[in-house]
Chains A and B, each alone.
Chain A
Amino acid sequence: MAEKNSDFEPNIVAFLCNWCSYAGADLAGTSRIQYPPNVRVIRVMCSGRVNPLFVMNALQQGADGVLISGCHPGDCHYMQGNYYARRRFMLMRNFLEYLGVEPERVRMSWVSASEGAKWKEVIEEVVNGVKSVGPMNKFQRRQLNW
């Protein structure tokens, strides 16, 4: 049984596309909208850059959850990247669920550059979801301290 104690603060890795989601997250910042500090961001130019194996790698390295956020369909700065991302992550999420990785750990969102408020909602939804399923303790990599 995964521990679900109230002290559990999940560690969530997020991939944000530069043109929409990263800008939306910045907007949340300039608007001083407060949200939980559990999400750490990696910036990519497009959600289409995110290889689903990054999700696997993040969970293996110790992240409790992964979030990929991009532009709304039709608005991708590079026209199509988010459509590819949508297909890839639908498949990867289903597959990881099939192995026993709770779907709350693999999330995706469309956040545009003007949706600072939505970014906060997305963070809260994702953090609460991961909290409800506890720390990721399946197939964790052993860390070697040389």
Chain B
Amino acid sequence: MVEVEKLREIAREVISRDDVRQLIGYRQGTYGFRARPAFITSPEEVDQLIFSPACVNNLATYLTLEEKLPVPRGQEPDLRKVAVMVKGCDSRALVQQMEEKAYERDRIVVLGIPCTGVVDMDKVEERFPNVLSRGEIALEGDKFILSFDGRREEVPKEELLADKCKRCRYPTPLVYDQLLDQEVARFADDDYSDIVELEKRSAEEKWAYWEEKFSRCIRCYSCRNVCPMCYCEDCVLDRLNPQWMRRSVDLSENTAYHIARAYHLAGRCIQCGECQRVCPVEIPLMELNRKFYKDVEELYDYEPGTDAEAPPLLATFKVDDREDFIL
């Protein structure tokens, strides 16, 4: 587990540097067990920073999400670095963003946090509903310790652990300037068993499954907004000229939206699972992204977010790529 004092010490050092304008980390949320992102610009604010299994957000998304306001005439843009705290999965977003030239490596300061897993907040809230006062979650051994309202509850880790952590391949960040804790060795792997199970169903069953899911979509675009890989200035999915899909909340348009977004993430989605986490109507978005992820790995031996120098998946080819489906 990351020691909070060490974390704050390092953060203080980093934000005090002249060449760093902002540090993105985690702080306690407004209520319950939640944590939320912290955007600090001065050493005085460092004491609010925390890290715990409640820190589920992928902070890498803020690097590309930040609105670049027009620079007033006569002024220079503030090109100083941004520091960001990332878990293993989040660091892959950084690598992938650098592969896509979103920014150069020397524009960011990466504080890597080797991660032993985060909780699924839905499971926590189901277990301990209606906790309004602030609570904390810690990991001790193989149990999560939840402290709130004077109580101390112990829950076995696998009961609250996020599903994505049960398949995590990269608990230790792949890129960092400093590591805030000891490296964590890989403790899980992904065998795509959920995807394989869905693949086995008949065409009718598959469509019935997805029709139900896409019908629920309210086109809130939360999935797109939270995704670290979605940062186009003007997204094709809601462009009008040309219009690929209508903005109406309609099964056909919703399906088109999800197909298009999943395809745009082929070879780019780094499996942070944030999209599924933030979906207000619980569409299993990872089941869409992971289908591409599985095919990309099996067919083309490519894993996004692991090598910033690698060429983009769909900009490469092998002469002997599979073509048994081609007449």
Q: Do A and B come from one complex?
A: yes
Show the binding face of A for B, using Cβ within 8 Å. 1, 52-53, 56-57, 60, 73-74, 80, 83-84, 86-88, 90-103, 107-110, 121-122, 125-126, 133, 138-142
Q: How far is the CA of A20 from the CA of B314 in the complex (A)?
A: 23
Q: Is B296 an interface residue (CB 8 A)?
A: yes
Q: How far is the CA of A80 from the CA of B209 in the complex (A)?
A: 38
Q: How far is the CA of A90 from the CA of B245 in the complex (A)?
A: 23
B321 close to A142 (CB less than 8 A): no
A108 close to B327 (CB less than 8 A): yes
Residue of B whose beta carbon sits closest to that of A108: B326
B203 close to A100 (CB less than 8 A): yes
Interface Cβ pair total, 8 Å cutoff = 114
Assess A108 versus B325: contact at CB under 8 Å? Given A53-B244, A91-B296: yes
A95 close to B207 (CB less than 8 A): no
- Main DSSP-derived SS at the A contact region: helix
- Which one of B206, B250, B256 contacts A142 once the chains associate, using CB atoms below 8 Å? B250
Find chain A residues with CB under 8 A from B207 CB.
99-101, 138
Assess A140 versus B252: contact at CB under 8 Å? Given A86-B323, A90-B299, A98-B206: yes
Residue of B whose beta carbon sits closest to that of A74: B319
Q: How far is the CA of A101 from the CA of B299 in the complex (A)?
A: 20
Q: How far is the CA of A97 from the CA of B199 in the complex (A)?
A: 8
Find chain A residues with CB under 8 A from B260 CB.
53, 56
Q: What 0/1 pattern do residues 297 to 327 of B give for CB contact below 8 A with A?
A: 0011000000000000111010101110111
Q: Is B291 an interface residue (CB 8 A)?
A: yes
Q: How far is the CA of A57 from the CA of B206 in the complex (A)?
A: 20
Closest 10 CB pairs of A and B: A100-B207, A100-B206, A83-B317, A109-B327, A139-B255, A139-B252, A141-B252, A108-B326, A100-B203, A98-B291
Q: Is B208 an interface residue (CB 8 A)?
A: yes
Q: How far is the CA of A91 from the CA of B268 in the complex (A)?
A: 13
Q: What 0/1 pattern do residues 186 to 210 of B give for CB contact below 8 A with A?
A: 0000000001001100011111111
Q: How far is the CA of A102 from the CA of B295 in the complex (A)?
A: 17
Q: Is B63 an interface residue (CB 8 A)?
A: no
Distance in Å from the Cβ of A16 to the closest Cβ of chain B? 13
Q: How far is the CA of A1 from the CA of B207 in the complex (A)?
A: 11
Distance in Å from the Cβ of B63 to the closest Cβ of chain A? 27
B208 close to A80 (CB less than 8 A): no
Q: Is B184 an interface residue (CB 8 A)?
A: no
Q: Is B251 an interface residue (CB 8 A)?
A: yes
Q: How far is the CA of A90 from the CA of B318 in the complex (A)?
A: 13
A142 close to B252 (CB less than 8 A): yes
Q: Is B153 an interface residue (CB 8 A)?
A: no
Given contacts A107-B325, A138-B255, 17 further A-B contacts (CB under 8 A): A52-B263, A56-B260, A57-B256, A83-B317, A88-B314, A91-B296, A94-B291, A95-B263, A99-B206, A99-B210, A100-B204, A100-B211, A101-B203, A108-B326, A122-B327, A139-B214, A141-B253
Distance in Å from the Cβ of A92 to the closest Cβ of chain B? 6
